[in-house]
Amino acid sequence: MRPRVASHLLCGLIAWMTLVPVAFSGTPDRNPVLTSIEEELVAEINRVRTDPAGYAAILIEKKPFYRGRRIVAPPTGDQDHEVTVEITQEGLPALEEAVAVLRTTRRRGRLQLSKRLCRAAHDHVMKQGSAGTEGHSDSGGAPLDRIKVYVPDVRAVAENISYGRWTARDVVIHQLVDDGETDRGHRKNLLDPRFELIGVSCGYHLVYGTMCVIDLAAE
């Protein structure tokens, strides 16, 4: 049976209203040990940031699979008809909007991997995944509170969460399209030029099968 996909697909939150300086003790962490999907997720996000217009072409490749609000998978050797893999809220217009935004977005700086942000993200995956819950605040407080456990002086963070997505590219595409999210907060977080650091963690989720947490921060 196909794992369930969250009805809202993604959950994002930004923990700053005004940008303030962020102080990290010591030097940024280097070379934390990541799983293959976590490595791919960091690489995919940096690909978006460093070449937004180029990444728009990846989204355009998805257009032929929209049928109104449905997204279908093409026929395979095991089936001779299209299969609906997702029901969106907005359909193709949300994808087209994302393409237009990416085409007009200037290149951003690459995000540097932070072991401490990865640990904060991992804590949320472990606690929330085993409980089968959703959101940002049911595991040691809000993202800012959780991250402060590892980075006490942090002042500005953002967090995106994906449920039921099994590849890094699928996670990123859905965050860029941000179907059903009126403020497109996930897309804005990924493209925000002020962020400099990233931490990610992906793991098991009791309800959706898998989840990924992306924590972003600025120095």
Can you list the alpha helix ranges (DSSP code H) found in the chain? 36-50, 52-60, 92-104, 115-131, 143-148, 168-177, 185-191
Identify the three-state secondary structure at position 81. coil
Taking residues 177-206, what's their average pLDDT? 96
Output the average pLDDT for the chain. 85
What's the pLDDT band for 33 if we cut at 50, 70, 90? Answer: confident
Taking residues 181-208, what's their average pLDDT? 96
Distance between CA atoms of residues 186 and 192, nearest Å: 10
Cα angle for residues 131, 121, 151 (degrees, 5° grid): 130
Q: How far is CA 101 from the centre of its chain?
A: 17
Q: What is the pLDDT of residues 201-210, one digit of tens each?
A: 999 999 999 9
Using an 8 Å Cβ cutoff, are 114 and 198 in contact? yes
| Tokens describing residue 5 | 């996909």
Q: Which residue has the higher pLDDT, 77 or 153?
A: 153
Distance between CA atoms of residues 140 and 36, nearest Å: 27
Q: What is the pLDDT of residues 142-168, one digit of tens each?
A: 888 888 889 888 778 999 999 999 999
Using an 8 Å Cβ cutoff, are 153 and 22 in contact? yes
Distance between CA atoms of residues 166 and 208, nearest Å: 10
| Tokens describing residue 125 | 């995956």
Distance between CA atoms of residues 215 and 153, nearest Å: 15
Identify the three-state secondary structure at position 202. strand
Using an 8 Å Cβ cutoff, are 111 and 197 in contact? yes
Distance between CA atoms of residues 216 and 112, nearest Å: 10
pTM confidence score = 0.84
Distance between CA atoms of residues 71 and 137, nearest Å: 31
What's the pLDDT band for 14 if we cut at 50, 70, 90? Answer: very low
Q: Report the DSSP beta bridge partners of residue 11.
A: 161
Q: What is the pLDDT of residues 47-73, one digit of tens each?
A: 999 999 999 999 999 999 999 999 998
Q: Would you say how long the chain is, in residues?
A: 219
